[in-house]
Chains A and B, each alone.
Chain A
C-alpha cells in the first residue's frame, strides 16, 4: 500500500477546519479577538483584554482539551466502514487562506473562462494537458478546503469588580462604561467573523462560530442581546452557526464535540452535494459537447505537441470526482457506482495505446489510478461483506492488466510484471489485514449441508448451494501475503535471468531501479507477515502444518540470501514434524537444502548427520552418490570432537538398515531356550554397500549383554548371510561375532541364536546401533529396533534353510517380543468322598494336595459353596473350624515340601431337600524358594506385572449328589372322641389345659409313622424320640415307642428297611384354628439319631440327628352328630347298655332333636328305654346322652336296632313331620381320613370323605354268645 499515494486509498470523510484553538505558544499573548484590520499574526498585545490569570488558565485548558477531543475524532485510515457522523478535523490558523479557485482573481473578466489551477486545461497545472486526476486534487479536498469551518472566539468579558460592600449602590458609571466596552468589543468580533464569513461564503463553506465565555457570563442577562448583535452584525446563518461554550470537563467536551459534528454534518453533506452537482453538470455538458469537441483536438498534431485530455479522460475525471464527493458524504453505493464507471472508462483508455501510450508518465499515473480505484472498489464491496464480488473484481483487475501488460511488452517474463502482481496481492493482503482489525471476518467455506428434500425450490442461496468459485473465496490475508511473496520470488528470478542475459548490454528501462531492490528482504518480509497471519488464524488444535510450509519457504529464502544459520534453525524445527508424520517426500528436498546450508556453514558434524539421514531416506535418482559424498567428507575432514563418537540419532527418521526381530515362540517358560532371528536388511532404494560400517550393536531389554557384530570382510558375499551366536545368557559378557557388513541393496544379514531367562520378563530388542568408522571418525547411528522404511514391507519370515535359501512366513503379530513366564506349579489335588452325601450329616470331603514339583510351595485353598437351586434346601460348609454358607477363604495348607502331601477335610452339611450340591475349590500355590524375581521386584526398573509373581492357581469343581438318609411317611386317621366333655358352662372349657386329660377333645387322630431307610448303605440308628411340642389344639396322648423297651434301638438298618411308630393325638381346635380351615399343626417332631455306617477305613461316622416334624392334623368336622356306643359282645339274655350321644358341634346353631327307635320285629334285641321322644334343645357345643338297655334274644351277629335322629329345627313349618336326618355313627367303626383337602397327610391318596351316607346303614352288630 505504501507504494500508492495514500490520498488515493484512504477513506474520505467530511473535512472540518477548526480555528482559534492555538497551541499555548501564546501564553504571553493570550488568544484574543484580533482587530478586524490585523488579520495576520501576531496579534497586537495592546488589544488583549485584561483577563484575570485564573480564567485565562481555564480557557487555555479548555482550548487544549478541545484540541485533544477534536483531533481524536478520526484518524485518516484506509479501512473505515462505520458511518457515524464523524468529521476529519483539521486544526488551522484563524487566518488561513483557501487555495485560489482559479488562477485569475475573481475581479478579472477572464474569471468565468478560467479553470482551476489543477485542471488539465490550465497550462501551469501538473496535469496539463492530458492528466487524469492527481493525488493533489484529493489532498486539496482533504487538507486545504473544508466543508465546514468552525471558529472559536473569546467573548469579551469585563473583569468583575469586587464591590467594596454589598450594600453599596451599583456603580452606575462603571456599568455604563462596561456596556460601552462590551459593545465596542462585540463589534470588533463581528467584523472579524464577517471577514471570515466572506471567504467561506465564496466557496460555499459553512461557518460556525463558537464563543468561549466564562460560566458566569452564561447567566448574564445581557448575553442574549449580545449574541443576537454579534450574529446580525457578522451575517452568520440563523441555524447552527453560533455556539457558546464555557470551560467544562473533558467528558462534557466530548459531548460538545459530538453534538457540534451532528449539527454540522448536514451542511457538510450539502457542501459535497453541491460539488457533485457541479461536476455532474460539467460532465453532462461535456458528454454533449463530445461530438463537436473531439475533432478540434484531432491527434494528428505532431507527437511532441502534447495532446489535450480525451473525452474518455474527462469522463474518468468527472466520475472519479463524483465518486470522491459521494465518499465524502458517506454514500458508499453511489461512490461504488462512480468508481466503477471511472474504472470501466479507464480500461477503455488502457485498451488503446493511442489514448494511453505505454511507459509514459500519464500511463504510469493512470495505472496507479486504476490500481487504487480497484482497491477502493474491493474495499467498498468488503464493507458490505460481499467477499465474492470484491475478490472477483480484484482478480479480474489483475487478469485484465496482466493481459494489457503482455501488450505493453511487460508480460510474465519480465520482473515488472511480477513486481506489479506482487504489489496487487500485497495491497489486497494489507487491506484485509486492516479490515480484520475491526469489522472484517473471514468465512470458513464449509460446504452447505445438502438440502434434505430434493423438491424444495432453489432460492437465493441456490448459487452458493451449487458450489463456489474457489478464487472468489475470501481467505485470511496470510494467503495473499504468501501470494505476494511468491510473485516477488518470480520477480527476483526474472530479474536475475534478465541480468544474466543482459551481461554487458545496456540495461533495460527500470533495471537501474530494480538493481537497488533487495528482493530477498521483501520476500522475507512478506513471508514473515504471512507466517504470522497463518499462525494467528490457525486453530489452537492445529499442528501448524500451514505455518510450517511458510516457514519452509522462509528457510529457503534465508538460504537464498545466504543466512544459512537462520535457515538451519528453521529446518531443524520443520524437519521434526515432517519426520514424525513420515512425509519423506517433503523431507528429502528439505534435507537437501539443509545439507547445502551445512556445507556452506562448514559444519562438518551437521553435514555428516544430514548425509546419513539422507542415506536413510534414500536417493532414488542417483543411487550411491550420497554414500560417496559421505565417504568423501569423512576422508577429507576430521571430527570436531575426535574423542567422542558422533551420534546420529535416526530413531525418528528412516533407518539405515531395516531390521526385524523374530522369536520362534511368543512365550516360553523360565529357563527354557527361545530361538530368535534378527534380520538386518539393506534397503533397496539406496546404496550403502560401501559405508564403512564397523559394527552393529544389538541391545536387548533387561540386562542382556549386547550382541556386537564386527565387520570382517568375507571372500564370498551371499545375499543372505546367517550368523550364529549361540545361546545368549543373562549378564554375560558382550557377545562379539564377526560378519561381513558390506551390504548390497536387498542383502540380508540374519543373526540367529537362542535366549533364555531365569526370571519371567518381556524380552525385546531395545536398540540397534550401527557404528561407522572411517579415519578419525566414529559415528554411532542408533535406530529404532524393529523399523522398516517407508513403503517397504517386511514380512516376518523365519529363515528355515540357507541352502537353498528358504523362509517360513510367521503368522504371529507379536513376533518381535518374547515373554518368559514361570513354569506352572506341579500339584496333584485329589478329593476323597464316598458319594452320595446324606442329608443332615457332616459329609466329609478329604482334600489331598501333593506337591509333585521340585519347589516348595505355599498352598492356600479357597472353597466356595455354590448356592443351590433346590427349594427348601439349606446347606453350609465347615472347613478348618470356619463355617459358612458361601465362601471360606484362605485356608492355609502351609508350605508343602516337594513330594509331601497335605490333607484337610472339608465338611458339607446339607439339609432340607436332596439334590446336587456344588463346591468350587481353588488351590493357589506360590513358590517360596528364594525367588530372584522377588528380590528384584524392589528395584523400580523391573516390571512388576503378573509375569514376575510366581503364583499359580488350580480350580476344581465338585458336584456332590445328596440323598436323604431316612424318610418318614405318616398315615393319619381320625376318630370322634367319646370322652366326657365339659359342660358348656364349665370353666374348664376356658382353660388352657382343657384337654390335658385327653378327654375334652373333639376328636382324636391316630398317626402311624413309617420310617424308611434310604441311602446306598446301612445306618445305625441310635434312637427314635417323639419330642412333644406345645401346640394349641393338639396334644400327643400316647406313643407306641414310649411304651417300654421294645429293643428296636440302637439297631442297624439296611437300605430299604422300615420301622413304624404310632401315636394318638387329641384334637380340640380352638377358634383360631377353626377359622384357619381347621388345620392343626403337628404337635411335635420325631428326632432320629443315627450315624452313617461306613466311612473309608471302616470308621463310623459321627452321630447325626434328623428331625421330622409331625404332620399337620386336619380332622373332619361334624356339625350335629349322634354317636352310638354298644359293646361288641353280649351274652344271650344278659342286658347290655346302648348309649347314644348327640353332639351339637355347630359353632352357632342350636338343635332341636327328635330321637326315634326304629324297632323291627326281626331284631334280635329286646329294648328297654325311650322309643321316641324329644330331647331338650341342644345349644352349640352341647351334648345329650341317651341310654337304652338291650337284651339279646338271639345268638350270633345281631344287628343293633335302628335309631333315627332328626333335627326338626331346620325343617320349618312345611315339613313338620320330617326333619334333617342326623347321622348316627357307631363309634366302634369310627375311622376317618382327614377332610377332603388333607394333602398334608403323607401318602394321602386314599383320603376320602369319612362321612359318607352309607355309614348310616353301617351300624355295627353285636356278637351275642349263648
Chain B
C-alpha cells in the first residue's frame, strides 16, 4: 500500500495562463511553488497541443524536480490545475491524484459560480477572466478554505 499523497501546493491557472490561486502548504517555500506552477504550464501546453481532441482532463505527471512531482489537470474550460506532491519513493496512484483533482475542480467550480463575484463587475464585460482571477483574490475566502480542506482531507488519510 503506497503512502497517501502529500500535497505540497496547489495552483489554479486561468486559461490565459495567469495565476488564479497558488496555495502552498509548506511554510517559506511559496516562491518555489509559483515557479513549479509556472513551469508546469510548458508541459501542460505541450501535452494538450499534441492531442487537441482529447477530452481527458487529467494530464498525469508533468515532471519531477527537486523534491516535488508536479501533476496537471485541465478543466474543459481550460483552467489548469497543478498540484505539487512531495516526491517519495513510492507509486503514486493515478486514481488518487485524479480524485484529488476532481475535488479541486469542484471547489473551483463552486467558488466561481458565486454570483456575488460579479457584483462589482460590469455586466456583459468582455473580460472572460474576470471572475476567475477574482475568485483567488484576497476578498473571497471560501475558495481558499475549500482548497485547504481538500488538502487537509488528503492529509487526514495519514492519521487514520
* A residues with CB within 8 A of B: 392, 395-396, 399, 444-449, 463, 465-473, 475, 479, 482-483, 486, 538-539, 541-546, 548-549, 552, 581-583, 585-586, 589, 790-793, 795-796, 809-813, 815
Contacts and interface: CB of A to CB of B under 8 A. Distances in A.
B112 interface: no
A133 to B, nearest CB: 30
A1088 B22 CA distance: 92
B91 A447 contact: no
A585 B59 contact: no
B18 A582 contact: yes
B28 interface: no
A392 B30 CA distance: 29
Contact of A793 (B19, B63, B134): B134
B103 interface: no
Contact of A471 (B46, B69, B120, B137): B69
B41 to A, nearest CB: 6
Contact of B45 (A444, A449, A541, A809): A541
B122 A467 contact: no
A546 B64 CA distance: 12
A582 B133 CA distance: 11
Contacts of B38: 545, 549, 581, 583, 586
B122 A812 contact: yes
B97 interface: yes
Contacts of B121: 793, 795
A468 B56 contact: no
Interface of B: 2, 17-19, 22, 30-31, 34-35, 38-39, 41-43, 45-47, 49, 56, 58-66, 69, 85, 87-97, 119-126, 133-134, 137-139
Contact of A541 (B30, B46, B60): B46
A583 B63 contact: no
A775 B128 CA distance: 45
B49 to A, nearest CB: 5
Contacts of B58: 447
A549 B35 contact: yes
Nearest to B59: A447
A811 B31 contact: no
18 contacts: A445-B61, A468-B61, A468-B92, A471-B89, A473-B61, A479-B63, A482-B65, A549-B35, A581-B38, A582-B18, A582-B19, A583-B34, A585-B19, A585-B31, A586-B35, A795-B122, A811-B123, A813-B124
Contacts of A475: 63-64
A467 B93 contact: yes
B123 A469 contact: no
B91 A466 contact: yes
Contact of A791 (B62, B85, B94, B138): B138
Contacts of A796: 122
Given A470-B85, A479-B63, A811-B123, A546 B92 contact: no
Contacts of A395: 89
A479 B69 CA distance: 12
B64 A470 contact: yes
B88 A471 contact: yes
A538 B47 CA distance: 11
A703 B126 CA distance: 27
A545 B125 CA distance: 30
Contacts of A585: 19, 22, 30-31, 34
Contact of A483 (B65, B92, B97, B133): B65
B52 to A, nearest CB: 12
Contacts of B17: 581
Contact of A543 (B31, B41, B91, B133): B41
B94 A543 contact: no
A1242 B94 CA distance: 88
Contacts of B139: 793
A447 B60 contact: yes
Contact of B39 (A444, A545, A589, A792): A545
B64 A479 contact: yes
A466 B95 CA distance: 7
Contacts of B18: 581-583
A796 B134 CA distance: 15
A538 B95 contact: no
Interface centre among A392, A470, A475, A543 (most CB of B within 10 A): A470
Given A445-B62, A449-B56, A813-B123, 15 more contacts: A447-B56, A447-B59, A466-B93, A467-B95, A468-B61, A468-B94, A475-B63, A541-B49, A545-B38, A545-B39, A548-B39, A549-B39, A581-B17, A793-B137, A813-B125
Contacts of B133: 790-791
B45 A542 contact: yes
Contacts of A549: 35, 38-39
A471 B42 contact: no
A545 B40 CA distance: 8
B60 A446 contact: yes
A541 B65 CA distance: 22
Contacts of A463: 91
Contact of B60 (A445, A552, A813): A445
Given A446-B60, A582-B19, A585-B34, A813 B122 contact: yes
Nearest to B137: A791
A465 B97 CA distance: 13
B54 to A, nearest CB: 9
A470 B61 CA distance: 7
Given A479-B64, A546-B42, A585-B31, A815 B122 contact: yes
